[in-house]
Amino acid sequence: MSAGQIDILVSEVGPRDGLQNVKRVMPTAIKHRWIAALAAAGLREIEVGSFVSPKLLPQMADTDEVAREARKIDGLTVLALAPNVKGAERGIAAGVHKLNFPVSASRAHSMANIRMTPEEAVEQVRQACQLRNAPPVEVGISTAFGCTIEGEVSEDWVMQLAAKLAAAGATSVGLSDSTGMANPAQVSRVLEHLAPRFPNTEWTLHTHDTRAMAIPNILAAMEMGVSHLDASIGGLGGCPFAPGASGNVCTEDLVHCLDAMGIETGIDLDALIETSKRVQEIVGRVLPGQIVKAGKWTRRYPLPDGVRERIPARA
Amino acid sequence: MSAGQIDILVSEVGPRDGLQNVKRVMPTAIKHRWIAALAAAGLREIEVGSFVSPKLLPQMADTDEVAREARKIDGLTVLALAPNVKGAERGIAAGVHKLNFPVSASRAHSMANIRMTPEEAVEQVRQACQLRNAPPVEVGISTAFGCTIEGEVSEDWVMQLAAKLAAAGATSVGLSDSTGMANPAQVSRVLEHLAPRFPNTEWTLHTHDTRAMAIPNILAAMEMGVSHLDASIGGLGGCPFAPGASGNVCTEDLVHCLDAMGIETGIDLDALIETSKRVQEIVGRVLPGQIVKAGKWTRRYPLPDGVRERIPARA
């Protein structure tokens, strides 16, 4: 893994957000190898799973073991999702470096997703932050840009939630476009309002490419100073509401775009592309990522037959 | 068709650039209905076909008839591609409002694509502009951001070409990312250099979403003042070099993004989505467009069963 200076931290969420939208359960040994390959490609932070009830998400039942194994990888920040104090306790026991709590801005989404009100979820964050040996707690504000059930989510309410979360002890707050509804103008506007009010909070952006706006939203957030981005290899995942729609922004497509723009992520794009191809084989379907199909922008092709001899020298 | 004020002109290239990458020949009557549906959805400019040799592109053999029929649609600007003077003469006979000449910045691409050097292609533009009854001639500079055969294309050479084209009589110059290699930083940089030197030239952008950067590139160009954008319904088309890769930027995904950002295109997005679904049925495969799959950002879903009764009032 490269230890050089980076401009943008790309945090891989495939083993959590990607996989939780895939029905088939991935064997634990394959998860280990996958996470090791991601880390070897230069990913410095990986969300390895979710400490939820195995009854709800059987794909995540082995998160304790996956996290313990990932902890052995030198230099890797191991992150896992916990929806409540019980999950946080499992995370602490497994030795994760960071916990990610989902707190929905939408009440309906909150109840549907974690069966708690937003206020109850904030209270879980507060209690988790006070646990003995608690690691830093990041919060992703789900449906921060709108909810497919409730509709518009008020910026004022997102602001209030962010304040409650900071007070509860969260070290960083992610704006999560869980439903793929955000647009670049909105991302700029929301961050322009929010970020200056919380100078001590690190803002992150979690995007879904449901409506082809993930990379535009990311570039808008980067212009507002956000330098921590979630992504999922291959674009693995999906949206439970929109069958056939894309999942999280695709890690290698994002890294490719940043690379081409001269923005340093510390990630070896070729190794990442190879890993994405293997993930595609493992899950057994074509993933939305485009770089795996098209190759990098530096890819070259030979001249078609019989053309070279017809090219005259430049006039 | 709406006649209101618009911020951005989206020019539909599906019947030309989209279709020329589809092997199956679309019947002329279906092309007529398709173009009429696009115009009814509010598209104000449509590139209806290509005046090339039917031997090279049998899909485009009926362009004369398609153009004549499209001319009957009130308020529609009918555009067609012509690679040479002979094609321009066919276009004039068919009564197109505008001709689109492709001129490659890359010599290798130019030879492979139209079997002429860039200088010879410029000469064809000059002669076409002098034809009796010649309509305005737009030029798309192919491979303006790089070539998959030659590699990097120098900005200086693109600038020289643009000067030659303006001198030859071209009324507008399009920067064409034919190979899907451009990135947003590059688009900004190129336009920042070029646009001020040609104050009388209208700049357009022609994008391919080969590497998931089409909408980011468009937003970068819009920030530099470009307000004329090519797009292809459903993302129809492809890249002859990259099997499985996306085609032109998808019209409805682009219009959806602009709509969500509050930017007026004059296009009825719902009608456009319906047209895209029909095109998908006609070509018989799933197209890359994402809005057709996911629905608009305003799409709402009911609460999952049993959730509503558990939601307490806001504290």
pLDDT value of position B3: 59
- Catalytic site positions of B: 239
| pLDDT class of A246 with cuts at 50, 70, 90 | confident
Interchain proximity B260–A210, CB inside 8 Å? no
Interchain proximity B112–A304, CB inside 8 Å? yes
| Total Cβ atoms within 10 A of residue B226 | 20
B192-212 pLDDT, tens digit each: 999 899 888 889 999 999 999
| pLDDT class of A238 with cuts at 50, 70, 90 | confident
| Total Cβ atoms within 10 A of residue A220 | 25
| Total Cβ atoms within 10 A of residue B263 | 17
Residue A283, pLDDT > 50, answer: yes
Residue A27, pLDDT > 60, answer: yes
Distance spanning both ends of chain A, measured CA to CA = 49
Residue of A nearest to B112 (CA): A307
Interchain proximity B112–A146, CB inside 8 Å? no
pLDDT value of position B4: 79
Tokens of B284: 């018989």
pLDDT value of position B2: 46
Interchain proximity A311–B215, CB inside 8 Å? no
Query: Does B9 contact chain A (CB < 8 Å)?
Result: no
Catalytic pick from A129, A147, A239, A250? Answer: A239
Tokens of B13: 């290239």
- Segments in chain A forming alpha helices (H): 28-40, 63-70, 85-94, 107-114, 118-129, 155-168, 184-194, 214-223, 251-260, 269-283, 291-294
Instruction: Round to whole Å and give the CA distance between B302 and B24.
Output: 41
Q: Which residues from B are below 8 Å from A112, CB to CB?
A: 303-304, 307
Interchain proximity A108–B307, CB inside 8 Å? yes
Query: Does A93 contact chain B (CB < 8 Å)?
Result: no
Residue of A nearest to B184 (CA): A261
Handedness of CA A184, A187, A193, A197 (dihedral sign): negative
| pLDDT class of A1 with cuts at 50, 70, 90 | very low
Nearest neighbour of A184 by CB, restricted to B210, B219, B315: B219
Q: Which residues from B are below 8 Å from A257, CB to CB?
A: 183-184, 211-213, 216
Query: Does A313 contact chain B (CB < 8 Å)?
Result: no
Is A239 a known active-site residue?
A: yes
Query: Does B251 contact chain A (CB < 8 Å)?
Result: no
Q: Which residues from B are below 8 Å from A107, CB to CB?
A: 311, 314
Query: Does A233 contact chain B (CB < 8 Å)?
Result: no
| Total Cβ atoms within 10 A of residue A154 | 9
Query: Does B261 contact chain A (CB < 8 Å)?
Result: yes
Query: Does B119 contact chain A (CB < 8 Å)?
Result: yes
pLDDT tens digits for chain B (315 residues)?
A: 445 799 999 999 999 999 988 888 999 999 999 999 999 999 999 999 999 999 999 999 999 999 999 999 999 999 999 999 999 999 999 999 999 999 999 999 999 888 999 999 999 999 999 999 999 999 999 999 999 999 999 999 999 999 999 999 999 999 999 999 999 999 999 999 998 998 888 899 999 999 999 999 999 999 999 999 999 999 998 777 666 778 999 999 999 999 999 999 999 999 999 999 999 999 998 999 999 999 999 999 888 777 777 777 654
The verdict on pTM exceeding 0.90 is yes
Question: Up-side HSE of residue A312: CA atoms within 13 Å toward CB?
Answer: 8
Measured in angstroms, the CA of A115 and the nearest CA of chain B are apart by 8
Residue A156 amino acid letter: D
